[in-house]
């Protein structure tokens, strides 16, 4: 048994705490806020409740795995409902395609909207995605790397990846299956979660499409923030100690971890420290260490302008929980965002209406909206947010009205890249470093800093990467590192 301090009660830190406690360690979680959640937080205002971080939850089995680690059942702590449709995709030509829950239902939707040729292609596409996921998850995603050549050790999975044409471009891979351009967009936009355009992302990232559009999207009663609260409750019941309102000043170490010092001066001794702060900012807690090479000039993902809106009234009946409004422009918009560092001239926008699924998130007869537009990060962007902030809010409001959403605003919160930066997120993006090839797998910043024995990292900035499923896996990988000390 080791004494382990986990710094930060985000989803990665909570996953690590559950897996560490399940392995028999003495675990203390220190969190600067008054509650768990980290990036998956909650904002309550005038009777409206908003999820301030991720809004799309996939792969519930990974959530359940963290509960199982501490001998708990997920369903006893939080209820996840499958969303059907997972998305309502709206296109510039006025057409709509629903991403249905379950393969047969989605195949029927494609047959109706796109024809039998693309329906047949969907079944082949799902079979390819399934093979890709079954290969990638155990062999390349849910594993710790010590050297770059671990990618090809053992060699058989790497050969299988090549045979699946997974190192080509994602956009091209999707085009091989579907003739309808709408489906090409619908099954490749997920590359944006990895900070890349579909035209530049490798086909290996089709596993995100599998998680998102094939395995299904879920929503917890009480919103996404209910998940970290439930995980913390299960971990605490299993013996994990939680210290809230306890910001950390620094991690204490020489060649070995000694513990952490809180801002109030208290010292907590430990044999290992798992840091859930966002990389590279986590090194602010390690003033004796210089940044490792992968963190000295990282390439960050685009950021997001997020508008949390509480409005009077309900949306039309055809509005789903998640609604994607695809713009007419596609490749040129990505060039503006990713190459030129400018606002998309014709952006695609996500509008989520969580109160559609859980009416308790808004007063009776009202609605909670979450509106997201991709925008440049602060490192590569050329946007003057002192001018753009209010103008963007007005443009989003006009779009909501055009699309038929209620717009009588009662409560609101607008989050731009500077707000993300104030929360400690590098380059003002909640999506961390992009997943270009040399920032993925063994090339992504390690969850170990070998200069200090017992120092481990967890979260979006380390392996395996960005997204709720990946962060939950990162907690398990961090626990494996501690177990091996």
Q: Is 36 in contact with 443 (CB distance < 8 Å)?
A: no
CB proximity list for 345: less than 8 A, separation 6 or greater: 329, 332, 333, 336
CA distance 338 to 285: 31
Domains and CATH numbers, the chain: 3-40+61-71+222-297+432-483 (3.50.50.60), 102-215 (no CATH), 301-426 (no CATH)
pLDDT in tens, 216-246: 999 999 999 999 999 999 999 999 999 999 9
Residues in Cβ contact with 356 at an 8 Å cutoff, skipping those fewer than 6 apart: 315, 319, 320, 321, 367
Q: Which residue has the tokens 């989605």?
A: 106
Q: Considering only CA atoms, which of 429, 151, 426, 451 is closest in space to residue 297?
A: 426
Question: Which H helix or E strand runs over 307?
Answer: strand 303-312
Given this model, what pLDDT does residue 441 score? 95
Query: Smallest Cα–Cα separation from 418: which of 377, 459, 390?
Result: 377
Mean pLDDT throughout 12-19? 98
User: In residues, how long is the chain?
Assistant: 485
* Tokens, residue 37: 């959640």
Residue with tokens 């971990």: 235
Q: How confident is the model at residue 392 (pLDDT cuts 50, 70, 90)?
A: very high
For residues 8-15, give the mean pLDDT. 98
Q: What distance in Å separates the CA atoms of residue 276 and residue 282, rounded to the nearest whole number? A: 8
| CA-atom Rg of the chain in angstroms | 22
Query: Model's pTM, two decimal places?
Result: 0.97
pLDDT for the residue numbered 155: 95
Please report, to the nearest 10 degrees, the dihedral formed by the alpha carbons of residues 126, 128, 131, 133 taken in order.
-70
325-347 pLDDT tens trace: 999 999 999 999 999 999 999 99
- Tell me the mean pLDDT in the region 86-106: 97
Query: What pLDDT is attached to residue 149?
Result: 94
Q: Are 212 and 190 in contact (CB under 8 A)?
A: yes
pLDDT in the model for residue 359: 98
pLDDT band at 93 (very low <50, low <70, confident <90, very high): very high
Task: Judge whether 369 and 48 are in contact, CB under 8 Å.
Answer: no
C-alpha separations of 101 from 84, 129, 320 in Å = 5, 16, 13
pLDDT at 323: 98
Q: What is the pLDDT of residues 246-289, one digit of tens each?
A: 999 999 999 999 999 999 999 999 999 999 999 999 999 999 99
Element housing 243 (H / E): strand 241-243
Average confidence score pLDDT of the chain: 97
Tell me whether strands 87-90 and 322-325 are parallel, antiparallel or unpaired: parallel
The DSSP output letter for 458 is -
Q: Residue 309 and residue 389: Cα distance in Å, rounded?
A: 15
Give the pLDDT confidence of 397-448 residue by residue, as tens digits.
999 999 999 999 999 999 999 999 999 999 999 999 999 999 999 999 999 9
Three-class SS state of 361? helix
Q: pLDDT per residue over 23-76, tens digit each?
A: 999 999 999 999 999 999 999 999 999 999 999 999 999 999 999 999 999 999
Please say whether the dihedral angle defined by the alpha carbons of residues 438, 209, 113 and 121, taken in this order, is positive or negative.
positive
**How many C-beta neighbours within 10 Å does residue 452 have?**
19
Q: Tokens at residue 42, please? A: 């909650």
Share of the chain above pLDDT 70, in %: 100
Q: What's the CA gap between 344 and 335, in Å, rounded?
A: 8
With a CB cutoff of 8 Å and minimum separation 6, the contacts of 174 are 125, 183, 184, 187, 188, 198, 206, 209
Residue-level pLDDT at 402: 97
Mean pLDDT of 119-134: 98
Note the pLDDT tens digit of each residue in 287-298.
Answer: 999 999 999 999
List of residues 6+ apart from 395 with CB closer than 8 A: none
State pLDDT tens for residues 170-187.
999 999 999 999 999 999
pLDDT in tens, 63-72: 999 999 999 9
Token pair of 190, please? Answer: 């997920």
Residue 282, classed as helix, strand or coil, is helix
Residue among 247, 276, 278 at smallest CA distance from 426:
278
Q: Quick one: which of 182, 177, 240 has its CA closest to 206?
A: 177
> What pLDDT is recorded for position 265?
98
The backbone torsions φ and ψ at residue 200, rounded to the nearest 5 degrees and listed phi first, read -110, -15
Query: Six-digit token pair at 360?
Result: 């308790």
Q: Which strands form 26-30's sheet, in the order they lie side by side?
A: 241-243, 26-30, 3-7, 272-275, 455-457
């Amino acid at each position: 048994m080791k004494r382990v301090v986990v710094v930060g009660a985000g989803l990665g830190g909570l996953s690590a705490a559950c897996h560490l406690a399940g392995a028999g360690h003495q675990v203390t979680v220190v969190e600067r806020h008054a509650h768990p959640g980290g990036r998956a937080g909650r904002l309550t205002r005038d009777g409206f409740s908003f999820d301030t971080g991720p809004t799309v939850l996939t792969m519930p089995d990974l959530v359940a795995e963290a509960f199982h680690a501490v001998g708990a059942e997920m369903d006893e702590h939080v209820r996840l409902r499958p969303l059907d449709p997972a998305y309502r995709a709206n296109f510039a030509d006025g057409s709509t395609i629903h991403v249905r829950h379950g393969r047969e239902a989605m195949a029927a939707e494609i047959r109706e909207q796109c024809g039998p040729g693309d329906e047949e292609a969907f079944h082949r596409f799902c079979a390819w995605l399934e093979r890709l996921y079954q290969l990638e998850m155990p062999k390349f995603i849910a594993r710790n790397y010590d050297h770059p050549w671990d990618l090809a050790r053992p060699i058989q999975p790497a050969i299988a990846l090549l045979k699946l044409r997974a190192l080509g471009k994602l956009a091209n891979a999707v085009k091989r299956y579907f003739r309808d351009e709408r489906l090409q967009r619908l099954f490749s936009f997920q590359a944006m979660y990895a900070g890349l355009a579909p035209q530049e992302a490798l086909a290996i990232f089709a596993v995100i499409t599998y998680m998102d559009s094939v395995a299904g999207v879920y929503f917890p009663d009480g919103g996404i923030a209910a998940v970290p609260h439930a995980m913390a409750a299960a971990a605490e019941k299993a013996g994990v100690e939680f210290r809230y309102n306890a910001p950390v000043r620094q991690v204490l170490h020489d060649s070995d971890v000694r513990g952490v010092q809180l801002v109030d001066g208290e010292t907590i001794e430990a044999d290992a420290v798992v840091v859930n702060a966002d990389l590279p900012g986590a090194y602010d807690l390690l003033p004796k260490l210089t940044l490792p090479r992968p963190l000295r000039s990282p390439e960050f993902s685009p950021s997001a302008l997020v508008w949390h809106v509480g409005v009077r009234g309900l949306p039309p009946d055809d509005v789903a929980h998640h609604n994607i409004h695809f713009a007419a422009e596609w490749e040129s918009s990505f060039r503006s965002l990713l190459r030129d560092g400018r606002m998309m001239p014709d952006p695609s926008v996500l509008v989520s209406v969580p109160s559609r699924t859980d009416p308790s998130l808004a007063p009776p007869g009202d609605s909670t909206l979450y509106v997201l537009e991709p925008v440049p990060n602060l490192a590569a962007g050329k946007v003057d947010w002192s001018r753009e902030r209010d103008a963007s809010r007005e443009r989003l409001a006009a779009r909501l009205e055009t699309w038929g959403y209620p717009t009588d605003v009662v409560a609101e919160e607008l989050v731009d890249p500077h707000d993300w930066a104030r929360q400690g997120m590098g380059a003002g993006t909640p999506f961390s470093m992009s997943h270009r090839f040399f920032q993925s797998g063994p090339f992504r910043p390690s969850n170990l800093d070998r200069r200090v024995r017992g120092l481990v990292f967890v979260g979006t900035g380390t392996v395996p990467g960005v997204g709720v499923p990946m962060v939950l896996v990162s907690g398990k990988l961090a626990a494996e590192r501690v177990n091996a000390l």
